[in-house]
Amino acid sequence: MTRLALLVLCVLVLVACSSKKPAAESYSASLSPYNHTADHIEPYVDGMFGGHSSAYGGGGSFVCCISYPAVWRPGLSAKVRWATSSGIPGDRRPEAYVQHWHEKVVPIEEYTVPGGMLNIHFLPEGEVRLIISSKGAGAKNYPGPAYPVKPPDWKW
């Protein structure tokens, strides 16, 4: 083997051994809604259906999925569209079946480590929070609101 061929072979081996996989540019997350209100909610995030969320409940069920960047950046947001209707089980009033649609652009809260869930918190007064995490509400060190709690006077 000539010196040039040996040199080329050594360089190729070194390059192959030292190459790293490129960092992922984006990740995907399952949608998991948390409902802190008395309404029944059907959410969509950037057009993807997020399941159903009963009054004062949520989490534990996941609907696939959205893409998000590996590195958080200021201004990162998503369009959240959701329908609300009566959250009272067995409510047979005609108005209980009427869906009211809401929509807003919501910032995705800062994350330093990518997670597999986009937790969507529907809070009173139409407030919505989007949190990317590997944890759900109620978990130790979860960066968002606690798991929804039914008020003492909620009898359903």
Average pLDDT of the chain to the nearest whole number: 85
From 116, 150, 124, 138, select the one nearest 28 (Cα to Cα): 116
> How far apart are the C-alpha atoms of 68 and 129, rounded to whole Å?
16
Higher local confidence (pLDDT), 95 or 103? 103
Inter-residue long-range contacts of 113-117, CB under 8 Å, 24+ positions, other chains counted: 114/24, 114/27, 114/68, 114/70, 115/29, 116/27, 116/28, 116/29, 116/30, 117/29, 117/30, 117/31, 117/32, 117/62
The yes-or-no verdict on residue 14 having pLDDT over 50 is no
Give the pLDDT band (50/70/90) at residue 2: low
117: Cβ–Cβ under 8 A, 6 or more apart, which residues?
29, 30, 31, 32, 62, 132, 133, 134, 135, 136
pLDDT-derived band at 75, boundaries 50, 70, 90 = very high
Using alpha carbons, select from 100, 122, 108, 103 the residue that is nearest to residue 37.
Answer: 122
Residue 8 has pLDDT above 70, yes or no: no
Mean pLDDT of 66-93: 92
CA distance 1 to 132: 55
Distance of CA 138 to the CA centre of its chain: 15
Tell if the pTM clears 0.75, that is, is over it. Answer: yes
More confident of the two residues 117 and 11: 117
Write out pLDDT tens, residues 81-100: 999 998 888 888 888 888 89
| Tokens, residue 21 | 């996989």
Q: What pLDDT, in 10s, does the model give residues 27-49?
A: 999 999 999 999 999 999 999 99
Task: With a cut of 80, say whether residue 59 has pLDDT above it.
Answer: no
